[in-house]
Amino acid sequence: MSAKRPLEVVGQPRRRVDARAKVTGQTLFADDLSMPRMLHCKLLRSPHPHAIIEAIDISRAAAYPGVKLVLTGKDFPVPFGIMPVSQDEYPLAPERVRYVGDSVAAVIARDEKTAEEALLLIEVTYRALPTISSPEEGLAQPMPRIHDYGEQGNIHRNQSYEFGDVEAALANSDHVFEDLFFYEGDTHMALEQQASLASIDGDGKLTLATSAQNPHYLHRQLSLVLQMPASQIRVIAVQNGGGFGGKCDPAGHEMVVSKAALMLGRPVKICLTRQEVFYQHRGRHPVLMKFRTGVTKDGKLTAMHLQTLLDGGAYGSHGPASTFYTGVLTPVTYELPRFKFDACRVFTNKPACGPKRGHGTPQPRFGQEVQLDKIAEKLGLDPAEMRLNMATKANSLTSNWLGIGSNGLAECIRQVVERSGWKDKHGKLPEGRGIGIAASTYMCGAGVSIYWNKMPHSGVQLLLDRSGQVTVFCGATEVGQGSDDVLASIIAEVLGISTSQIRCVTGDTGITPIDLGSYSSRVTIMMGNAAMQAASRVRELITAAVIEPLETTPEQVVMSQGRVFAADDPNKGMSFVEAVVLAETKFGTLGTVGNYSPPKPPGKFKGSGVGPSPAYSFSACVVETEVDVATGLIHIEKVWIAHDIGQSINPVHVRGQVIGGVYMGLGEALMEEQVFRRLPAKLSNALVHKIPSLLEYKTLTSADMPEVEVMLIEEPDPNCPFGAKEAGQGPLLPVMPAVANAIWDAVGVRIDEVPITPDKVLRALKLKRAGKNPRVGPEYFPDVPYPEPVFVLPPGEGGDGKESKKLESMPANSLAEVSTS
Amino acid sequence: MMRLPWFNYRSPKSVAEAARILAAEGRDAMLIAGGTDLLPNMKRRQQTPATLVSLRQVGGLKDVVNGRGLTLGAGLTLSEVVNTPALKDSCGYRALHQAAAQVASPHLRNMGTLGGNLCLDTRCLYYNQNEDWRRAIDFCMKCNGETCWVATSSKRCMAVSSTDTAPALISLGAKVRLVSAAGDRELELNDLYQNDGTEYLTRQPDEILTAVSLPDLSGWKSTYWKLRRRGSFDFPILGVAAAVRAAPDGTVLDARIVLGAVSSRPLMTEAGGLLLGGKLTDEAIAAAGKKATSAAKPLDNTDLDLYWRKDVVSSFVGYALREIRGDDMSATRLRIMRQL
Amino acid sequence: MSVVTDKEVQRRVHMTLQVNGEEIEVSFAPYKTLLEVLREDLGLTGTKHGCELGECGACAVLIDGEPLLSCLTLAVECEGRAIETIEGLAQGTQLHPLQEAFADLGGAQCGYCTPGAVMTAKALLDKEPSPTSQQIKEAMSGNLCRCTGYQQIVESVEKAATCCRSAERGAA
Ligand SMILES: Cc1cc2nc3c(=O)[nH]c(=O)nc-3n(C[C@H](O)[C@H](O)[C@H](O)COP(=O)(O)OP(=O)(O)OC[C@H]3O[C@@H](n4cnc5c(N)ncnc54)[C@H](O)[C@@H]3O)c2cc1C
Ligand code: SF4
Ligand code: FES
Ligand code: FES
């Protein structure tokens, strides 16, 4: 429509739009809010991991001076859950508690301390039930069931997919590698502890201001639980002090304060303690994995059979999606002609697992990339070369029907190899020092919404007026990742103004168009595309209004640096404000909308909705380490990471996301773990979170963080706004396997599980000295009753993306030698 | 927000006044110095004194007397201890300097005091938890419960002595002054501790630790090595303090090796004795390491694997003795402890 | 040990605090820490909290110039001490060089750790105008950040140190 010009805002390092508020302490997080007559809420939580609630006596608590209301499960008859297929949570447990920390009752009082004191006066009679602490136990012990829904016994989800005849391909491979890996659970640990403030507006409607990544989904669930029309509820996602997936699920405490505010007609606030944040969890699933991978002599993959077993915790949460994610992205990085994937999620009596940065994919990525390292070792190939030789290509389809658009993977690998001096180091550093590589991919938004519908995934509304002020409304949620800045940048770029001229109004279901939320790395691309559309529509209006006074054609109109002018005669022009005045004069009040829905995924089989994305980001990482052979202590020297971002909207913050991802990845590789403790069964039924504190849940401090060198690869993706892909999750993924591979290079031991702690390294070193297999990791994979697979022919074998019948394969004469590495 | 329980607050101006209050209030009163140990414990309801007797306004507790030896007031913050010139420049006192510099985090060192560090409550992963967490395990022997969950047949609590400065100071032969309304006494710091996780101090509840005195240590070299997961915040899961006096030819005349965080009290080991009369050869160092290891009894109540924690004792004793021998250990120190 | 229920003990205390150079009278429940009084009784919510147990540094403020944890400081012990919080750092609308640098270089992502980190860095620069990056990492090692991976925080402090130094030179 109008003339092209170089990018002015996008790609420039800039102070983000919300930075000033953050450095002055003006940013208000949920617990910073207060209102006149505000009351405070505290929750009573179960001390039992699994029990029936036989009776609750709240009379003493209700009579305690200062207490205004006590709520129990009776007050919340309707269950909820983020996924339509797992509506299994209650704000307060009505009759059964499923983990230590499950909430049972709530006290609302004049201040937090009074509420806390009154909690001790609530008397609950429990009848303890047998507990399940691991998926293995859950498989072995179908009764009692933690939930009375799910596949069978304590299995929540169970599924199998096969793309091409995997056994036949394995049988025809030169080698088949079989490896087990374990990925321990860990948690988001956003520095902010979730808080929520519910109040009744002057017009009688409910407003909930809360720490939430997905206000839209919360809005729907609130309406359900409170049995109130959604139009009477407004959810404001306040600035989040970090999210990482931990604030994606609607949470019981949000429902509790809403209900209390409705009953009391006064504002009610809750702020979780750190321990309660550990209980709310929804973090990384512990996953046991088995990989059987076939390769040719020269290191090309032939087929893979991946099996995963997830420890789901006590509730469904995002579990059904997480289960898929422990497999579906595996074929996106390297050409893999055939792929079979079985996954099973089991309920246990622990806080529910859910989505954490990389949602379900870091676990198989760890296994896959460590196994590749072993394969390269065995075949005598350079692990970086081997990866390069089989990297997927742009505009290709994977065996499981995912469409890859732009693809910077090979370039990422080349860059980290080059910058780290890989060729001079790998296999060549002195004993105790080593270097390792791994690569990865992540989605830029999920192809389908969490509940089934055909409406847009993101909507943006623009309002301009004669003052030249531009206000943008969008439901997207700032969790620290910089989504407001992305929104402002894209609009500023299209309109040729600076981000400081734009006011962002976001994450408020009462006044912003719907955006599904800050999850699955979807915001930049989905909100960005919607913003592009809205801004382009305004640009058209402005263009139409100025061509006459400028005596030019629409094709010649340029909007740049706050001016609107003709490309062929730049002196002929006007200020942006003047142009807006002309447009408002001509068209009346100026407003446009834009929206975005992702393209239809290529797969057509049931379950093909999880995994497709409009675009995939890629990363590669090299880690250099030093391992002390006497103690097993691990020191990370330096990390090189290349990330295919497509196009940076703001390189300062892309780099920040990448380094932040590396930091969290190092934490997961070396120390972070959400682990539980059982007491001796004869004496106690306890099953407790071992370390629910910031002191004992170990994360890196500034003193522990190594230098990170970041390379941004810009291969613009046509599906993305200005070509920009995601950076929030992808860069975490290659870090854990790169660490494991570096430790192998340093001291020749394999730690096939995370976290990789010094005691495990020393144990493996002792095995090595004793001439045994120098490996620490899981030893066996239990019998999981996976179902018959859904069989789909891969694109390369003439499939049409639909489920089909598996042809009776020739019982191939096996040439393969099975090696367990 | 975790909140403190209600308490009475008293703010005496002198040691004598504080001692009088303690004597009158009995076991319901506790001293508070920096509060960095006591306040978290109170928020978690591990300790719920009815009265807090603050040492903040008490005069004289920050005195440093540098004569024959060195006397440090118990009220000095750990940062003040670290910045005491007499410590920084002395090879003999270096262990204390290094230990104090590695306590907790920079902010906590600006708050926590030397006296508080020496009287630090013992720690255990079953104990340093919120009240409702402890309710879920039906509490434990150290507080409100019957059983020790770390060793269910144990008659005593095995919570871990987790102070960094105590092993260092014991290796330096420090004495402490305790003052009560009834009088005052000086005792070897080593005798302040006993191997019981609940009654870990021989201090009477009405006694105030006012000062720590160190002998003149010219001719000595000392060092402190701390094992912890991260370069900040974490309590020691092993501390090795070593102090050695050697003749000009390197023959060891005196040696003390003290372990922290492997027992309910700082452990003076017999490893030092093995070094006497010999030189700090690799063999002698290895033998000392082995001896120290046999004394360490880590349990499954702190961070990291207990067997591994025992396994690495001899390496850490080795780092310490090699540093004293004069090896350049700075790279190792930086890598392991993030300390320059 | 006994539980305190004495009404006398539960009486609010009244005192004058010196916050960001101003004397403020405030009354509060005596169990409160400085963190609670700042946030709840004085409305200064710039100071954050992530644990209230000394394990994160989000609540760091300066007291008499030293970075301390407000969550472990009894408010009753703060009379007569100079308290500085993030709200008092800018001069009017002029940001402190640390604030400028954190804003420009990505030192703040979600911004939750930022007030504590900036105040801690201020104390460092007041004492040591030319810190090495190792010194910065050490000084900031009591401030957990879950977003940045620290590198951009360290870079922000380095940049601010340079700006402070050249401002000094300019003034001299
Ligand atoms: C996150 C975190 C990490 C920590 N890490 C470490 C660590 O790595 N190493 C370490 O050693 N400590 C650590 N600590 C504990 C603590 O900060 C230090 O031990 C500090 O020195 C305690 O001193 P204080 O003045 O704050 O003690 P307070 O809390 O005031 O007192 C501690 C105990 O000593 C008693 N007491 C205090 N002063 C006296 C006195 N003069 N006479 C008699 N009794 C007295 C008190 O009654 C109380 O029982 C950590 C604390 C936290 C919160
Ligand atoms: S050692 Fe035993 S008694 Fe002592 S605190 Fe731990 S569990 Fe309790
Ligand atoms: S809130 Fe004070 S240190 Fe975490
Ligand atoms: S910027 Fe989010 S915690 Fe530091």
Convert the pLDDT of each residue in A701-758 to its tens digit.
999 999 999 999 998 999 999 999 999 999 999 999 999 999 999 999 999 999 999 9
Domains with residue ranges and CATH for chain A: 19-26+455-596 (3.30.365.10), 33-129+191-242+247-280 (3.90.1170.50), 159-186+283-447+605-776 (3.30.365.10)
Beta strands in A668-728 (DSSP E): 676-678, 687-689, 707-713
User: Which chain B residues are within 8 Å of A758, Cβ to Cβ?
Assistant: 304, 308, 312
Beta-carbon separation of A683 and B229 below 8 A? no
Is B148 touching ligand 2 by the criterion CB < 6 Å? yes
Question: What is the CATH number that goes with domain B220-325?
Answer: 3.30.390.50
State the Cα–Cα distance between residues A810 and A808, nearest whole angstrom: 7
HEC states along chain C? CCCCCCCCCCCCEEEEEEECCEEEEEEECCCCEHHHHHHHHCCCCCCCCCCCCCCCCCCEEEECCEEEEHHHCEHHHCCCCEEECHHHCCECCECCHHHHHHHHHCCCCCCCCHHHHHHHHHHHHHHCCCCCHHHHHHHCCCCCCCCCCCHHHHHHHHHHHHHHHHHHHHHC
pLDDT band at C2 (very low <50, low <70, confident <90, very high): very low
Tell me the best of B102, B117, B179 to mutate to test the pocket of ligand 1, counting ligand atoms within 8 Å of each CB and taking the most: B117
Beta-carbon separation of A701 and C148 below 8 A? no
Residue C98 CA, ligand 1 centroid: distance in Å: 32
What's CA A732's distance to the chain center, in Å? 11
Asked if B158 contacts B300 with a C-beta cutoff of 8 angstroms, the reply is no
Q: What's the confidence (pLDDT) of residue C169?
A: 82
pLDDT band at A2 (very low <50, low <70, confident <90, very high): low
Spans of all domains in chain B: 1-58, 220-325
Instruction: Find the mean pLDDT for residues A351-358.
Output: 98
Asked if A817 contacts A374 with a C-beta cutoff of 8 angstroms, the reply is no
pLDDT band at A762 (very low <50, low <70, confident <90, very high): very high
State the Cα–Cα distance between residues C95 and C92, nearest whole angstrom: 8
Asked if A97 contacts A315 with a C-beta cutoff of 8 angstroms, the reply is no
B276 Cβ contact list (under 8 Å, min separation 6): B252, B253, B254, B255
Closest Cα in chain A to C95: A24
Instruction: Find the mean pLDDT for residues A71-85.
Output: 97
User: Which chain C residues are within 8 Å of A32, Cβ to Cβ?
Assistant: 39, 45
Q: In this predicted model, what pLDDT tens digit does every residue of A567-623 receive, in sequence order?
A: 999 999 999 999 999 999 999 999 999 999 999 999 999 999 999 999 999 999 999
Q: Tell me: pLDDT of A811 over 50.
A: no
Tell me the best of C38, C55, C61, C68 to mutate to test the pocket of ligand 3, counting ligand atoms within 8 Å of each CB and taking the most: C55
Residue B119 CA, ligand 2 centroid: distance in Å: 18
User: Which chain C residues are within 8 Å of B37, Cβ to Cβ?
Assistant: none
Q: In this predicted model, what pLDDT tens digit does every residue of A136-171 receive, in sequence order?
A: 999 999 999 999 999 999 999 999 999 999 999 999
Instruction: Give the closest of C106, C115, C149 to A662, CB-based.
Output: C149
Burial of C156 (0-12, 13-18, 19+ CB in 10 A): buried
ipTM: 0.97
Q: What's the confidence (pLDDT) of residue A425?
A: 98
Domain span(s) for CATH 1.10.150.120 in chain C: 97-171
Residue A548 CA, ligand 1 centroid: distance in Å: 77
Beta-carbon separation of B336 and A633 below 8 A? yes
Q: In this predicted model, what pLDDT tens digit does every residue of C50-90 receive, in sequence order?
A: 999 999 999 999 999 999 999 999 999 999 999 999 999 99
Q: Tell me: pLDDT of A816 over 60.
A: no
State the Cα–Cα distance between residues A315 and A282, nearest whole angstrom: 9
State the Cα–Cα distance between residues C103 and A18, nearest whole angstrom: 9
Tell me what the pLDDT averaged over chain A comes to. 96
Ligand 3, atom nearest to C57 Cα: 3
Domain span(s) for CATH 3.10.20.30 in chain C: 10-88
Question: What is the CATH number that goes with domain C97-171?
Answer: 1.10.150.120
Rounded to whole angstroms, what are the CA distances from A68 to A57, A205, A814, C13? Answer: 16, 21, 74, 25
Q: What's the confidence (pLDDT) of residue C5?
A: 57
Instruction: Tell me which residues have their CB closer than 6 angstroms to ligand 1.
Output: A 695; B 30-38, 40, 55, 74, 78, 103-104, 108, 111-113, 115-117, 119-121, 162-164, 208-209, 233-236; C 54-55
B44 touches chain C (CB under 8 A): yes
Ligand 3, atom nearest to B107 Cα: 3
Instruction: Give the closest of A24, A664, A705 to C151, CB-based.
Output: A705
pTM: 0.97
pLDDT band at A809 (very low <50, low <70, confident <90, very high): low
Q: What's the confidence (pLDDT) of residue A821?
A: 43
A775 touches chain C (CB under 8 A): no
Q: Tell me: pLDDT of C106 over 80.
A: yes
Beta-carbon separation of B7 and C36 below 8 A? no
Residue A46 CA, ligand 2 centroid: distance in Å: 22
Chain A adjacent subunits, 3+ CB pairs under 8 A: B, C
Burial of A726 (0-12, 13-18, 19+ CB in 10 A): buried
Q: Does domain B1-58 have CATH number 3.30.460.80?
A: no
Residue B276 CA, ligand 2 centroid: distance in Å: 37
Cα angle B309, B312, B315; round to 5 = 155
State the Cα–Cα distance between residues A174 and A184, nearest whole angstrom: 32
Asked if B230 contacts A703 with a C-beta cutoff of 8 angstroms, the reply is yes
Q: Tell me: pLDDT of C4 over 60.
A: no
Q: In this predicted model, what pLDDT tens digit does every residue of B313-334 receive, in sequence order?
A: 999 999 999 999 999 999 999 9
Place of tokens 């050695």: B244
Residues of chain B with pLDDT under 50: none
Q: In this predicted model, what pLDDT tens digit does every residue of A246-304 receive, in sequence order?
A: 999 999 999 999 999 999 999 999 999 999 999 999 999 999 999 999 999 999 999 99
Backbone φ and ψ of A647, nearest 5°: -160, 130
State the Cα–Cα distance between residues B38 and B333, nearest whole angstrom: 30
Q: Tell me: pLDDT of A5 over 60.
A: yes
Q: In this predicted model, what pLDDT tens digit does every residue of A475-530 receive, in sequence order?
A: 999 999 999 999 999 999 999 999 999 999 999 999 999 999 999 999 999 999 99
Q: What's the confidence (pLDDT) of residue A820?
A: 46
pLDDT band at C39 (very low <50, low <70, confident <90, very high): very high
B286 touches chain A (CB under 8 A): no
Beta-carbon separation of B43 and C52 below 8 A? yes
Closest Cα in chain C to B29: C1
Ligand 4, atom nearest to C111 Cα: 1
Number of Cβ within 10 Å of residue A736's Cβ equals 30
Same fold, B1-58 and B220-325: no
Instruction: Give the closest of C2, C69, C138 to B107, CB-based.
Output: C69
Instruction: Find the mean pLDDT for residues C2-24.
Output: 83
C90 touches chain B (CB under 8 A): no
Instruction: Give the closest of A273, A684, A700 to B2, CB-based.
Output: A273
User: Which chain C residues are within 8 Å of A27, Cβ to Cβ?
Assistant: 111
Interface test with A, best of B36, B108, B312 (most A CBs within 10 A): B312
Q: In this predicted model, what pLDDT tens digit does every residue of A517-570 receive, in sequence order?
A: 999 999 999 999 999 999 999 999 999 999 999 999 999 999 999 999 999 999
Instruction: Tell me which residues have their CB closer than 6 angstroms to ligand 3.
Output: C 49-52, 54-59, 69, 71
Q: What's the confidence (pLDDT) of residue A817?
A: 46
What's CA C6's distance to the chain center, in Å? 34
User: Which chain A residues are within 8 Å of B138, Cβ to Cβ?
Assistant: 684, 686
Is B301 touching ligand 2 by the criterion CB < 6 Å? yes
Asked if A43 contacts A103 with a C-beta cutoff of 8 angstroms, the reply is yes
Q: What's the confidence (pLDDT) of residue C11?
A: 86
| Superfamily of domain covering C10-88 | Beta-grasp domain (3.10.20.30)
State the Cα–Cα distance between residues C21 and C40, nearest whole angstrom: 19
